[in-house]
Structure 1
Amino acid sequence: MKTIQLSKPGGLDNFKVVDTEKPVAGAGEILVELKASSLNYHDYIVAIGGIPTPDGRIPMSDGAGTVVGIGAGVNDFSVGDNVVSTFFPNWVSGDPSLLKSSVVPGDSSDGYAREYVCAAETSFTKAPTGYSHQEAATITCAGVTAWRGLIVQGQVKSGDCVLVQGTGGVSIYTLQLAKMAGATVIATSSSGEKMERLKDMGADHVINYKETPKWGKAVKEWTGGRGVDHIVEVGGPETLGQSIFACKMGGHIALVGVLTGVSGNVPTAALFQNQVTVSGISVGSRQDQQDMVRALDASTMRPVIDRSFPMENIGDAFRHQESQKHFGKICLDIGH
């Protein structure tokens, strides 16, 4: 089978296409014919060598395809089922722990940039009914992160006000889930064209953060001084201060990203004066993903896919991500 491997020390020119042996499902495992993957910031950091991996690591945390074989003792799946991978294969349910989050495909173990994979059945869930493989592949990391931040931890409800930052996969999913829940959405971007697309998707108000660097104040003004109930924070240290200011008293910030760095100054006085709750979110459990899939099955929501690349062109896909010109998710087509 065709497989993508990343040579040490990483870098977008260090991907290679190799032939590897097609696996066979053992006890408790399913054999999945993979059809699609999707790019996340985490995958990008792995690709450029920011997260060191062994020589020849198979990248990509997200994978979607069809079950073509099952081992003894498999209960959740049948041949022909369309499935999507979980980000933490060992985190089935319950609270997180170091053990449950110790394995991440494409990082600490081989990922899904290959034509077939054998994995424990708990490494996958059913895909949403009617979703294409590309659409399903966007759920694993970006979708479940937005779901856990907004629905599980945030407990968003109809009438709440939600702030989303930018137009990456997590932010677009957050916008869609917030509207599905009946919330008002404020979105930030630095692109006029993207701001128009955000409004077309249902954003009730948009702010250009380059033209309005103190956008927290603009959020407070637009909400009549109240602030927002929830923020899914993808920026990190350079945006967290504005997010704290933009929150209502007692609001919630789901801290899910580090696009502006991994450490920085936190306005602690504003944090406790505003009595804001900050939840650190690292994707979610298999149960979270199953809950999300059920919600998607009951809705008409479909993920936004910016562009797809053949798996062999994985370096070009990451360069497109690096350019920050995308709107929504970038996918890989895994052909046979």
Structure 2
Amino acid sequence: MSRQWILASQEGFEASLQYQENVRIRSPAELESHEVLVKIYAASLNYRDISIADPKGVNGPILPPIIPGCDCAGIVMAVGSSVQEFQPGDRVITHPAPKLVEASGDNASASLADTHSMLGQGADGTLRSIGVFSEKALVNAPMSLDWLPAATLSCTWSTAWNSLFGVESRKARPGMWVLVQGTGGVSIATLQLAAAAGATVVATTSTGEKEARLRALGAIHTVNYRSNPDSWGQKARSLTPDGRGFDLIIDIGGNQTLSQSLAAVRVDGVVVIVGAVGENAAPVPLFAAFMHSCMVRGILCGSRAQLKELVRYIDEKGIQPVVDDFEFELADARDAYRRLNDKKHFSKVIIRVDHPRKRQ
């Protein structure tokens, strides 16, 4: 029997989320040939989870009831007859777009057109204690990570990996200047990965306390965007050699931050658009990139192949993903949504599901 959350409607997470206990799950004998039964030990949330629960979200409609979430870590309990990559006892994490992988292979990158079939929206997701997933919805977890940090990798960290290493000629490396925005999950993951690659990272934030935490994680400089609300892009740019601007900027705010990102990017630099968590603002036309002689790249997350690369890199570099200061139990997932929605978190909002305090 499993415990789980469902979205029973699409009226916002407060009204739509429902908690269920003693839910029957299929036995190993009932698995389809490509399916894997997973005991879930930890999960985490993304802004997409809030958007999916909201009828105004850009992700589009759902067919309730559906189990939300696309990030988790757990152990394989049983596998279907044709599963080749996993066996019982394997530690695994989820990849959010299994239908895309089944259709186009491990290197396929998701677009907005694919979101209707992704975990937590078009297929049952991860906010449950036991789940059945397609083989292509899983990859092996890093050997070096405990359950909670491992559960943050699926969407957020694969997005950060794709941002930094997704274009061969623009891979993060020593000598490259990278700008990250704020202290949300993608920004912190990008900071940790870019610092591990030897890049010089500058981070924006709103408080002195957060500035100290960002510097401790590897940021060489920080810029307070509240103190410089209309000029933090230029302020950040002034920190780069000869004020030339940044080689790579990870934009998480969308229209609210894009104008500042364009002000900070160097000629032939890249602005990677990975989200729209900022407040409503006037749209920034794509033509604005022409005025700054830069490239703009939009991504949703990483491919399954990139997620595997990320896992190897984390084990190789000994990176420990930073997680939020608060930890929620599965039954308290609505409170976890609230913390994310209110932007009170640092890095990733995490949910302990069914596992001991120390790694099994």
**Which bin holds the TM-score, normalised by the shorter protein?**
over 0.9
The 10-residue stretch of structure 1 (52-61 or 216-225) with the greater mean CA deviation from structure 2: 52-61
The residue aligned with 1:45 is 51
Contact 1:241 1:267 in 2 (8 A): no
Cα distance change on mapping 1:219 and 1:10 into 2, 3 Å: closer
2:225 is equivalent to residue 194 of structure 1: no
- Measure, in 1, the Cα distance between the counterparts of 2:26 and 2:280: 38
Cα distance change on mapping 1:196 and 1:165 into 2, 3 Å: same
2:42 is equivalent to residue 36 of structure 1: yes
Cα distance change on mapping 1:95 and 1:286 into 2, 3 Å: closer
- Measure, in 2, the Cα distance between the counterparts of 1:58 and 1:262: 28
User: How far is the alpha carbon of 1:100 from its aligned partner?
Assistant: 5.6
- Measure, in 2, the Cα distance between the counterparts of 1:266 and 1:139: 30
- Measure, in 2, the Cα distance between the counterparts of 1:11 and 1:121: 29
The residue aligned with 1:5 is 6
2:37 is equivalent to residue 20 of structure 1: no
User: How far is the alpha carbon of 1:2 from its aligned partner?
Assistant: 1.2
- Measure, in 1, the Cα distance between the counterparts of 2:110 and 2:160: 20
The residue aligned with 1:215 is 232
- Measure, in 2, the Cα distance between the counterparts of 1:23 and 1:261: 43
Contact 1:147 1:177 in 2 (8 A): yes
Pick aligned residue for 2:153 from 139, 147, 160: 139
2:186 is equivalent to residue 170 of structure 1: yes
RMSD: 1.9
SS at match of 2:14: coil
Deviations 1:292-326 (A, max 9, x none): 11111111111111122011111111111122121
The residue aligned with 1:294 is 312
Pick aligned residue for 1:60 from 55, 58, 69: 69
User: How far is the alpha carbon of 1:119 from its aligned partner?
Assistant: 1.6
After TM superposition, list the pairs within 5 Å mapping 1:43-192 onto structure 2.
43-51=49-57, 52-92=61-101, 93-96=106-109, 102-153=116-167, 154-192=170-208
Aligned length: 336
TM-score, normalised via structure 1 length: 0.94
Deviations 1:27-84 (A, max 9, x none): 1211101111101100122234544433322111112100010110211111111100
Deviations 1:257-306 (A, max 9, x none): 11126874326565224321111101021111011111111111111111
TM-score, normalised via structure 2 length: 0.88
Q: Percent identity?
A: 36
The residue aligned with 2:247 is 229
Q: Which residue identity lines up with residue 34 of structure 2 in the other structure? A: G
The 10-residue stretch of structure 1 (164-173 or 318-327) with the greater mean CA deviation from structure 2: 318-327
**5+ long unaligned stretches in structure 1:** none
The 10-residue stretch of structure 1 (99-108 or 271-280) with the greater mean CA deviation from structure 2: 99-108
SS at match of 2:132: strand
Q: Which residue identity lines up with residue 208 of structure 1 in the other structure? A: N
- Measure, in 1, the Cα distance between the counterparts of 2:158 and 2:253: 18
Q: Which residue identity lines up with residue 156 of structure 2 in the other structure? A: A
